[in-house]
Chains A and B, each alone.
Chain A
Amino acid sequence: MAMVRVEHLVKTYGAARALDDVTLEFPDGGFFGLLGPSGSGKTTLLRAIAGFVLPETGRVFIDDEPVENVPVEKRGIGMVFQNYALFPNMTVAENVAFGLAVRKVTEAEKKRRVAEALELVQLAAFGARKPHQLSGGQRQRVAMARAIVTQPRVLLLDEPLSALDKALRVDMQIELKRIQREIGITTIFVTHDQEEALTLSDRIGILKDGRLIRHGPPREVYDDPQDSFTATFLGDARIFSGTVEAGGLRLADGTLVPGVRTPTVAVRPENLHLSVAEPDLPCRLQARLGQKIFGGALGTCLLDWRGEVIKVLGRDADFRDLPESGPVWVGWRPEHSIQMSG
């Protein structure tokens, strides 16, 4: 178990900056999600911690020990790859035992720990199978068992669930979280799936163009994204811009959003309320209902506001009484106005 810290990491590929002065601390025993669009540098950061990417400048610490000059094989990490990277010439048990065999663990000890690891990922009966005889979810769990059996200091997961279909992914998220809790290992994982990041992590970091934009506990970052990129990337948000006045933010159509002191404000679609009559909410504006989309328990309404689209999420029951189209009011409570610093 270990605390991981990176300081001022810089890595360039030609003209592109994959990592641009990234400084971040990954708490001991935590589950840290690195989130960002493709090309944001999140995988580069993970590979720099693993040792596959050598940053031009900056430092990497595991347990306060500088590891920039320590090769991958001596860093004491466990890694799960996007395609699982199971050794096709070995059985499941041999795959899991590989890291132990390298460490010259005695045969009895090896057997016991492989059995333990397979037990942990609930594949105790699959030791003799070859990887090609397993389903995607089973392979994922073998990769997990192989990575943790050596008791690494840090567990690194590179888009661990992206190759699975949606239903399986949700199961595996729960499974991953359980395993991580059970062994309490410091875990860093990379994903482009914001929902996955919010579900799994107890801290997240958001990267864009090689820079760390924001980090913190998921709820904190979600509730107060501070900048429009984080607001729209992590969850959905409608951004309104205008001019700051004494009473609040004056939008282009003359609406005053009270209490806002920044030129942009974001509102999450689930916090918007629709009504035909003018609502009793301090933040409200008028728009035209364009489309109602039925989605089972939840529904979506798309509004037209001065040629732009406003998305409203809600229970389908809330939308049932609305007309198919026509003028409607959109309102939200002042505490749901997210003021944007950037």
Chain B
Amino acid sequence: MATTIAGQDRLRAVTLLSPAYLWLTVAVFLPLSAMAFFSFLSDVPFGGRDWHVTLDNYRAFFETTTYATLLWKSLKLGLIVTAVSVIVGFPCAWVLAKVVKGRSREALFLLVILPFWSNSLVRIFSWAIVLRGNGVLDRAVNAVLPWDVKLNLMFSPTAIVIGLVHSYLPYVILTSYLALQAIDDSLIEAARSLGAKRRTILWRLILPLSAPGIIAGAVLIFVPVVGSFMEPRLLGGRLGTYYGTVIEDQFVAVFNWPLGAALSFILLAVVLAILAAASPILKRART
């Protein structure tokens, strides 16, 4: 009897899982395999071009320091954007989870999710209007302050960070919110009754207990930001050359898909290595 039930369960599991796996196969595995194949070619295998299998594309990454420098720049950008998002997003999640209730919480939630609903190009260009010299921000600051301030943030790393934080902030807010909501209020009350001040409660209780949520949000932000190209290009201008923009160039401008593919896989490998190195911390935070 037990075996038939187990068999039924397995059948049910396969039935329920198959759409997702089918989709992953078609939408992720196949294109990724094609890209992996391209990355070992000397030229794109269509349009009647000559091509052969080679390791040159991967070798190119190590032949100059350009790519490594850009990758490092992108990783730093990822760290900064992730850090800013966590620092800005966590208090916001705290307010959503523990301070406001009822309708005002719904309204605040809507505001948090808003970036998800707007087109990313529109979002970036509106930042351009706000940040450029003599733009909205510039004029607003000058209207308030009596002395003259030149706030030309446009085409600077700051502008890129602002744009990226705006785009990805909801991730860390939502994951932190879920983690914070799972913390029983009586735990905080118990800590207070034992004489703990707010700072102690934050460091010894709230942060350890919400760490899985914060880390999940950080990973969700870090990974796409390292490979981002739109915000650096549009908000960074001349300074906006990052690893992601170089990959984009290979596909869109230079038409060197094999090099673009190889650079993408190196990025994938580096990001996976970073996550693997961080996984012991992740595991400890979960227990």
Residues of A within 8 A of B (CB): 50, 52, 71-74, 76-79, 81-83, 85-89, 98-99, 102-103, 130, 146-147, 150, 156
Contact = CB atoms under 8 A, between A and B. Distances in A.
Nearest to B194: A99
Contacts of B187: 85, 87-88
A79 B196 contact: no
B208 to A, nearest CB: 5
B195 interface: yes
Contact of B190 (A71, A74, A81, A89): A81
9 contacts: A72-B189, A81-B190, A83-B184, A85-B184, A87-B187, A88-B187, A98-B204, A146-B194, A150-B194
Interface of B: 184, 186-187, 189-197, 200, 204-205, 208-209, 287
SS of B interface (majority): helix
Contacts, number: 64
A50 B187 CA distance: 15
Contacts of B208: 89
B190 A79 contact: yes
Contacts of A82: 186
Given A73-B197, A89-B208, A102-B200, A81 B192 contact: no
A81 B193 CA distance: 10
Contact of A98 (B184, B189, B191, B287): B191
Contacts of B196: 73, 98-99, 102
Determine which residue in A74, A85, A86 has the highest number of CB atoms from chain B within 10 A of its CB, and name it.
Answer: A85
A89 B205 contact: yes
Nearest to A158: B186
Contacts of A86: 190
Given A87-B205, A99-B196, A146-B194, 17 more contacts: A52-B189, A72-B189, A72-B193, A73-B192, A73-B194, A79-B193, A83-B186, A85-B184, A87-B190, A87-B204, A98-B194, A98-B204, A99-B194, A102-B194, A102-B196, A150-B194, A150-B195
A78 B186 contact: no
- 9 closest cross-chain pairs (CB), A and B: A99-B194, A85-B190, A85-B186, A79-B193, A72-B192, A89-B208, A81-B186, A102-B195, A102-B196
Contacts of B195: 73-74, 76, 99, 102-103, 150
Contacts of A83: 184, 186
